Each structure stands twice: as structure tokens, then as C-alpha cells.
Amino acid sequence: MLGLIRFALAAAVLLSHVPGFHWALNPGVMAVICFYTISGYLMRRSIERFGRFSARPARTFLADRVLKLFPQYLVALTATVALLWAWGPSPGFWLLQQEPTPLKVLLNALLLPANYIFGPFVIPQLLPHPLVPPAWSLATEFHFYLLLPLLFRWRALLLVLLPATLAVQLFGFVYESPTLNSDTLSYRYIFGVLPVFLMGYLYAEGSTASRRMAIALWLLYVVLAGCALAGVAIHQQRAREITLGATVALPLLALALASGRRALPATLKRWDEQLGNLAYPVFITHCLAFYVVEHLTGMPVSATAGFLSSAAAVCLAGSLALERLQRRVERLRIGLRGFASMKDAPPPAPAARTR
């Protein structure tokens, strides 16, 4: 069921970028927060396997992540740059109203700099947005990957970073200025959003103590969401979306794990895996699909049935092509690391009791 959930989250991000929907709460923000918690869980399990089977776990883990994220991302970036050079900036879709200068293309290709388009830490050459607009969140994710081997090796570092970054996130919830607010401090950058990753990470550790820490963090987000919705101390719209996303994230993860332990029909498992494989390419190509439909049909990027159905079809076609490409890369990726994919590993046992 985790594949279906990830695909639904990618679809929520897609819908959040369509002008014309009037969301009381942005589904894309809540979906990204859920993605981060799921990533925290999956990457904790992944780094543990690298620690068991690899002689150089940190290096091979990061190389593995590059092979997982970059091939499809670089293809999406190349297609975006080529079409922007051929057709020019989008006339109506604000995220692609930009020129792909050589330096901007280079910075986008490196991915990590794509995070730095929000105050107070801005690389001006990247403005107004990454060329693959959701790439800023991929960059945040990769910052987490860089921290992960250190967190796994030194438990004390986790115990220091969790309260420190949680304090930054809480400060962003209650303080509001043009550059320091819930959007920048609590959502965009790893030093504020790390607790959301760590909620999933701690849930994956297996010990009762770690699970309790994860649940305590989740309960804190439940309380913060209640305060945000009631307008008690927390008044920013983005804070409501972040805390609600975190409130949903852990139960959603637990539901997916529980379903994974059941004997599901083979057909359902195949569909779940396929949808999970499509989640990432849908996430990185949907803005390009909007641009292609806008250019080829003349339809404005808007929340109309005609545009949405056309954009969904183009996005799905591009995503299927990227997924087929990634299948070839997967064989190389699994071969280089020398042990089976996470999907071939048995589901984790329930948390062991500790004194």
C-alpha cells in the first residue's frame, strides 16, 4: 500500500500547482511533509542494510541515492531546458516563466543548490525558481541523505539535532517576517524540517524507546496542529499545513506498514509497486507536462477538466518513459551495492521491548 500512498501524494503535489483551485489548506505542502516522514523511515532501514552489507556504508549509500534520484531528474531537467530554449518562457504558468541560462542549468543539475531560492539564503542565479520546480524539495531530501550516515553512526548527534532543529521549526511557526517564517524556517530548509524526517527515522529504529520518541514527536505535532487551527499562538497558514501534514504522516506510514505485513493478492502487489515507481517521475515531470500542454494546445494552465485530463495524460506518459529508464539503472544500482533491493527484504518486525 506504500506505493499507492506515494502515488497519491505525488498527485496531491500536482494538483497543488494548478492555478484555479482554491484550497483552504495546500495539499502539496501536506504531501511533501508526508513524503519526508516516509523517507525518514525508508532511509533508516536502508542505511542499516548498508551498515550490515557494505564495507563503506556512507559512501555506497550516497552513491546509491545518486543513482536512484539523478537519472530521472537529469532527464526531466534536460527536457525542460530544451523546450524552454525552443519555445521560450511559459506565457501563463508562473513556475516556468524563466530563462535557462548556462549557470542556472549547471546549478540545477547539481541539485543541492536548488534549495537556496528562499530567504534568507538565496543564490540569485537560481531565481525565480528551479527549472524543475519541485527540485527544491529534492534538494532538502538530499541534505537529509548527507546527514543520515552521521546520524546512524553517532546516536548522540541525533539527540542534539532533534531538539535543536525542532526549536528552529517552532520558532518559524510563531515568528513571521519576510525571510524568517514558517515557510522558510519550518518547511524549506533541513535545519527546520529535519524533525519531520526524524519522526519516520525513529519509527524505523525498532526499539520501544525510539518508537516512543517518534510517537511523542507526532503527539507534539497533533497539539501544534490544534493550536494552529484554533489560532492559538500559531497564526501562519503554512504552519497549519505543515503541522497537519505531520499529524497525518505517521498514521499513514503505520497504515502502509500494516498492509505490507498482510498477504495481499499478487495483482494488487504489482499495482502497488508500479504506482510507487511512478510517484517520483510524476513528482518531477508534472510542471513540464503543464508547459507542454499549454504550448501544444493553447489551453491556459488552469483547473479545467480539459486541461487537467490533458496534463495528466502527458505527465503519465512521460513518467512511464522515465520509469522504464530507471529499470535499467536499477539493475546497475543493485549490482554495484551487492545486495538486494529494499522491496525484496522482509518487512520489519514490530518494535522489540526494551528495559
Q: Is residue 212 part of a domain?
A: yes
Mean model confidence pLDDT for the chain: 92
Q: Is residue 25 part of a domain?
A: yes
Q: Is residue 349 part of a domain?
A: no
Confidence category of residue 55, pLDDT binned at 50, 70, 90: confident
At 310, list the grid cell: 490533458
Confidence category of residue 266, pLDDT binned at 50, 70, 90: confident
How many whole angstroms separate alpha carbon 290 and alpha carbon 300? 9
Report DSSP letters for 333-355, one per residue.
HHHHHTS--GGGSPPPPPPBP--
Buried b (16+ CB within 10 A) or exposed e, 287-298: bbbbbbbbbeee
For residue 238, give its domain range. 2-344
Q: Give percent of the chain with pLDDT exceeding 90.
A: 83
pLDDT of residue 206: 81
Q: Is residue 353 part of a domain?
A: no
Q: Is residue 351 part of a domain?
A: no
pLDDT of residue 258: 84
Report DSSP letters for 145-203, one per residue.
HHHHHHHHH-HHHHHHHHHHHHHHHHHHHH---SSSSTTIIIIISHHHHHHHHHHHHHH
User: How much is the average pLDDT of 174-199?
Assistant: 95
Q: Is residue 354 part of a domain?
A: no
How many whole angstroms separate alpha carbon 176 and alpha carbon 160? 25
Q: Do residues 185 and 169 touch, judged by C-beta distance below 8 A?
A: yes
Selection from 298, 306, 311 nearest residue 87 by Cα = 298
Confidence category of residue 354, pLDDT binned at 50, 70, 90: very low
Q: Do residues 342 and 48 touch, judged by C-beta distance below 8 A?
A: no
pLDDT of residue 259: 77
> What's 207's DSSP letter?
B
* pLDDT tens per residue, range 78-114: 999 999 999 999 999 999 999 999 999 999 999 999 9
Domain count, the chain: 1
pLDDT at 344 over 80: no
pLDDT of residue 90: 96
How many whole angstroms separate alpha carbon 246 and alpha carbon 334? 32
How many whole angstroms separate alpha carbon 255 and alpha carbon 48? 22
pLDDT of residue 47: 94
pLDDT of residue 353: 36
Q: Is residue 172 part of a domain?
A: yes
Selection from 225, 162, 195 nearest residue 186 by Cα = 195
Strand boundaries in the chain, DSSP class E: 117-118, 121-122
Q: Is residue 352 part of a domain?
A: no
* pLDDT tens per residue, range 192-201: 999 999 999 9
Residue identified by cell 524549506 is 188
pLDDT of residue 348: 54
